[in-house]
Structure 1
Amino acid sequence: METLKIAFFCWESLHAERVGGLASAATNLAESLAKSHEVHYFSRGSIPDQTVNDVRYHYCQPGGSNPVAYCNDMSMKMVGQFRECDSPGRFDILHFHDWHAVQALHHLQDRDTILTFHSTEFGRNGNQAGDWWEYREVSGKEWYGGLIAKRVTTVSATLKNEVMRLYNIPDWKCDVVPNGVVPRQYRASVDAGEVKRAYGIHPYAPVILFIGRLVYQKGPDLLIEALRKVCRERWDAKVIVAGDGGMRQYLQERARDLPVNFVGHIPDSEYLRLLNACNVVVIPSRNEPFGLVLLEAWSAEKPVVASNVGGLAENIDSFVNGIKAEPTPDSLAWGISSLIDEPENAEVLGRRGRSKVDRVFQWDPVASRMADTYARAHS
């Protein structure tokens, strides 16, 4: 394939403003593409523009009284920066990530454009915010972005079906391109007993790890109720919940009589220690378009219990490299107990998960699949 000049538009990146998994997904994709193409990345940041791993990062500092106004202002600033870079050599592909930059897509829709859905507002909130004005605004932007983009990609087949159903995006226009992972970033040699002791846990106690936003979509309340059942049989089981969100106070109240340590937001270095010291990673999401935590856990060779939804359901081969459970307390409890009661089998599942990462989820082949979509848009 010819060398392309590609522009990314994404509201977060690993090198400046980072909010969630989108930063990792978009940044790693851009830097993998940059091995063969010229890539510019337009994002937010209060630092000077920079080049990292051959990607040229351009930062703006938007403002706004609410998230929609903020992202509209960000989009206009991105368009201004883009136009400065667009001459004399025109960009071949303009790649937009999620709804945040749809206003920029609107102003640049005459070009060869790609919109990637990493999730949807419906998936993030379900029926919890159907009458909330921001929910309607964001959903409207997602619909409009899907309408005007030359092509659309989603990170899983489940999400493809969701955006086709919600926004009437035709099948021929939409490709599935999964996320990837850099496995060496998540595998580390740690003294598991020492890490556990730092949290007041006996070195031989089985530790269950949850990491993510404490919001309804991610199902932390399902995990807390599941633990009631697990702890009746395994008095020694301990749980670490890493992350923050609107449900934290409620969850802490519900877990007052359970061996749960809420550690809040933690730096990457501490996440690495906990990930490699824990015995089981649980992903109890009600909706999960892809689930990057799955790839991170597999990279560390950790066994996973995950809800049988979305990208988790597509990527886990149950009882081969993980356990799929229904997003209910009873089913999650069964999955967790299955792994902590049979640690040798759990270790086998973790190793097989790492094997699947090495075969399927490296970034270079993922970038190659995205380049195929670019070729269809650019033809």
Structure 2
Amino acid sequence: MESLRIAMFSWESLHSAKVGGLAPHVTELSEQLVKLGHEVHIFTRSGWYRDYDEINGVHYQRCSFDESGDIIAQMNKMCDAMYSRFIQVSKDYGNFDIIHGHDWHPVNVLNRIKYEHGKNYVMTYHSTEWGRNGNVNLNSPTSNEVSHREWLAGYESSEVIITSENFKREVQNIYSIPDYKISVVPNGISPGKMEKDVDSGSIKKDYGIHPYAPVVLFTGRMNYQKGPDLLVRAIPRVLDGNWGAHFVFIGEGEMRHHCQNLANELDIGQSCHFLGYSPDEVLKDWTNACDMTCVPSRNEPFGIVVLESWDANKAVVATDAVNIVDNYQNGLISNRTPESIAWGINYALDGLDSTTPIMGNNGKQLVKTKFSWDNIARNTVHVYNRIT
């Protein structure tokens, strides 16, 4: 296989500014591409890091810029900084064979490279403005511009990667990207990334939870798209049948305080634990200490939290917005309502001594096969080869 020099453009990574699930995708995909013999440079924000590092074989070209202004102004300045850095790195290392962008943030720099240097590019969609907001505030100037850049990426790119069939349909319905451009390549995880030996009882006890009480875990952004409020509204129905259950929420976002207030209004505050943003080790502890995870998303392009849960041998209760879960095989699928989510959780709680651990183990096997980064990186290279 011919070695490729790849320029990866993303506003986040695990070794720069980090925001959400895009960061591990970009970093872990890049590391696997290096293992396959390719040269990868990630152009990203510097955050509080220095301008350059080589980590696990990946070159991090971190770009500093004035981060004042709204998100559109910030991304405009980020793209200008990325372009300058790209020109310099091209002089130092040689021309790039592949330009690969992630989400709308770097679209300006991708198109500038295309038109000033004749370089076609690959675009990976990880979410859409419509999906993130659920038709809420989509007429704001900011949302209109984000949506425009998402459309522009699909129009100007030579190849498009989308992480699931459901998400492909969403992107095509919104932005009319033709089939011939699109490849469905799932997200991935490094097997063993989340699995950890823990004393579940001690972890629960540290948070005032009885060591033998069942725990349901939510992790992710506390926003409308991810549906934490749907889970909170499901909890009274869960407690009716499983009164000792507790619910741990890890993540920040605009709905966190709303969900905490809602829990108190529903008189279930004593069963809910809102930890906010937590370090990776705390997340790992709870992913292994919990009895199951819940993914109550209203919209879900993929659902990396599902893979993280499976990696720790945990079953998942997910809404039908998540299309990587096989019902009753590696998790349970509910409708996007509190009543249905409560049904799924109660079913899993009732099976803690029988079927639920089996579903978690089945998910673990998928992590080792279908969702390994080796498979995903090789499929990504197949996409690259169509434009080289």
Query: Does the alignment reach a TM-score above 0.5?
Result: yes
Q: Is the 8 A contact 1:64 1:73 kept in 2?
A: no
Identity of aligned residues (%): 42
Mapped to 2, the partners of 1:359 and 1:85 lie a distance apart of: 36
Report the 3-state secondary structure (helix = DSSP H, G, I; strand = E; otherwise coil) of the residue aligned with 1:16: coil
Q: Is the 8 A contact 1:282 1:304 kept in 2?
A: yes
* Match for residue 207 of structure 1 among 197, 215, 228: 215
Q: Which amino acid aligns with 1:296?
A: E
* Match for residue 62 of structure 2 among 59, 63, 73: 59
Q: Structure 1: which 5+ runs fail to align?
A: none
Q: Does structure 1 residue 47 correspond to structure 2 residue 59?
A: no
Q: Which amino acid aligns with 1:358?
A: K
Q: Structure 2: which 5+ runs fail to align?
A: none
Q: Is the 8 A contact 2:83 2:109 kept in 1?
A: yes
Q: Does structure 1 residue 140 correspond to structure 2 residue 148?
A: yes
1:256-295 → structure 2 map (5 Å cutoff): 256=264, 257-258=267-268, 259-295=271-307
2:98 is matched with which residue? Answer: 93
Report the 3-state secondary structure (helix = DSSP H, G, I; strand = E; otherwise coil) of the residue aligned with 1:50: strand
Mapped to 2, the partners of 1:185 and 1:168 lie a distance apart of: 36
Shift of 1:112: 2.7
Q: Does structure 1 residue 352 correspond to structure 2 residue 362?
A: yes
Mapped to 2, the partners of 1:144 and 1:174 lie a distance apart of: 15
2:75 is matched with which residue? Answer: 71
Mapped to 1, the partners of 2:170 and 2:87 lie a distance apart of: 33
Provide Cα deviations, 1:155-209, integer angstroms capped at 9, x if missing partner: 1111212222211111001111111001212000000001110111111110011
Structure 1 residue ranges (4+ consecutive) displaced by more than 6 angstroms after TM superposition: none
Mapped to 1, the partners of 2:294 and 2:94 lie a distance apart of: 48
Report the 3-state secondary structure (helix = DSSP H, G, I; strand = E; otherwise coil) of the residue aligned with 2:244: coil
Provide Cα deviations, 1:323-371, integer angstroms capped at 9, x if missing partner: 0111111110000000111112110100000011111111011000000
2:386 is matched with which residue? Answer: 376
Mapped to 2, the partners of 1:245 and 1:84 lie a distance apart of: 37
Q: Is the 8 A contact 1:239 1:261 kept in 2?
A: yes
Mapped to 1, the partners of 2:14 and 2:30 lie a distance apart of: 11
Q: Does structure 1 residue 320 correspond to structure 2 residue 323?
A: no
Q: Is the 8 A contact 1:92 1:112 kept in 2?
A: no
* Match for residue 111 of structure 1 among 107, 110, 119: 119
Report the 3-state secondary structure (helix = DSSP H, G, I; strand = E; otherwise coil) of the residue aligned with 1:185: coil
The aligned length equals: 375
Mapped to 2, the partners of 1:151 and 1:251 lie a distance apart of: 40
Shift of 1:117: 0.3
TM-score normalised per structure 2: 0.95
Mapped to 2, the partners of 1:17 and 1:89 lie a distance apart of: 26
TM-score normalised per structure 1: 0.97
Mapped to 2, the partners of 1:135 and 1:47 lie a distance apart of: 29
Report the 3-state secondary structure (helix = DSSP H, G, I; strand = E; otherwise coil) of the residue aligned with 2:204: helix
Shift of 1:64: 3.5
Q: Is the 8 A contact 1:183 1:296 kept in 2?
A: no
After superposition, the CA RMSD in angstroms is 1.0
Q: Which amino acid aligns with 1:328?
A: T
1:155-174 → structure 2 map (5 Å cutoff): 155-174=163-182
Q: Which shows bigger deviation, 85-94 or 188-197? A: 85-94
